Amino acid sequence: MDKCKILIIEDDSDLREGLSFSFSGDGYDVAEAGTKREGSREIAKGCYDIVLLDCNLPDGTGFELCREVRSYSNIPMIMLTARDTEMDEIKALELGVNDYVSKPFSLGVLKARMKRILQDKSETMKIVSGSVTIDQDMCKVYRHGEEVKLSKLEYRLLLYLIENKNHILSKEQILDKIWDSDGKYVDNNTVSVNISRLRTKIEDDASSPVRIKTVHGIGYIWKE
């Protein structure tokens, strides 16, 4: 089993190195960043399981970084801060951090909170339907345990279908959900063409689909 990967974004080098030493001793794979820019670059790699994020950084704030990250990732984040005010805590939680810890803090309590978040993540970030598994945190799809390479659009389409399993989705609903945000012109065949491509990657036999079924005259349904 792979080690859990932690990213610590903290400008206080003593605290950062102390946390890194402690978590490494517990068997975690730890990486460090001392600025918002470095942290942003590391998170974008998509290889971490959780982020410990300082609120005040030399080139920005943890709030700004959290807002940026939440535009493309659901990676768990714990904010570490000396700004112990109710408004800051509310702001952080509204931006999407999973927990908020005020400095100085108990290392034992921090580890307990992180463990809980990681356990919750393992239960909620994966969607399983038949032979298909979607890892939402890593944006990866597996069929019969083997990774399936999907385009960004195919991934969004599959996720939308499975999230609405056993419910008929019209072509118009799919277009509005998957393509509308791109602001690009699409013709009437766009949905059917992409459904066909997805079937070739997901179904055991694309010519006789079991999961992605056509509802003639209406749209499509993911059958479970």
| CB neighbour class for 52 (10 Å; exposed up to 12, middle 13-18, buried from 19) | buried
Q: pLDDT at residue 1 above 60?
A: no
| Mean per-residue pLDDT, 73-81 | 90
Around 90, how many Cα atoms within 13 Å sit in the side-chain half-sphere?
Answer: 3
Share of the chain above pLDDT 70, in %: 93
Q: What does CATH list as the number for 5-124? A: 3.40.50.2300
pLDDT digits (tens, 9 = 90+) for 6-16: 999 999 999 99
Phi/psi for 167 (5° steps) reads -125, 135
Question: Look-up: residue for tokens 């919750």?
Answer: 120
Of residues 134 and 84, more confidently modeled:
134
Q: pLDDT digits over 187-221, tens only? A: 768 899 999 999 999 999 999 999 999 999 999 99
Is CATH 1.10.10.10 the right assignment for the domain spanning 126-222? yes
Domain ranges of the chain: 5-124, 126-222
> DSSP labels for the chain?
-PPPEEEEE-S-HHHHHHHHHHHHHTT-EEEEESSHHHHHHHHTT---SEEEEESEETTEEHHHHHHHHTTT----EEEEES---HHHHHHHHHHT-SEEEESS--HHHHHHHHHHHHHHHHHHSEEEETTEEEETTTTEEEETTEEE---HHHHHHHHHHHHTTTS-EEHHHHIIIIIGGGT----TTHHHHHHHHHHHHH-SSTTS-SSEEEETTTEEEE--
pLDDT tens figures, 85-144: 888 889 999 999 999 999 999 999 999 999 999 887 766 667 889 999 998 767 789 999
Given a cut of 90, whether residue 2 has pLDDT beyond it is no
**Model confidence pTM above 0.95:** no
What span, in angstroms and rounded, lies between the C-alpha atoms of 150 and 148?
6
Compute the C-alpha angle 110/27/46, nearest 5°: 80
pLDDT of residue 141: 92
22 has a pLDDT exceeding 90: yes
Query: How many other CB atoms are found less than 10 A from the CB of residue 161?
Result: 23
Phi-psi region of 46 (alpha: psi -120 to 50; beta: other; left: phi over 0): left
Question: How many Cα atoms within 13 Å fall on the side-chain side of residue 122?
Answer: 6
**What's the average model confidence in pLDDT over 32-38?**
96
pLDDT-based confidence at residue 184 (cuts at 50, 70, 90): low
**Rg for the chain, CA atoms, rounded:** 21
Mean pLDDT for all residues in the chain: 89
Same fold, 5-124 and 126-222: no
Percent of the chain at pLDDT exceeding 90: 68
Find the mean pLDDT for residues 36-40.
Answer: 95
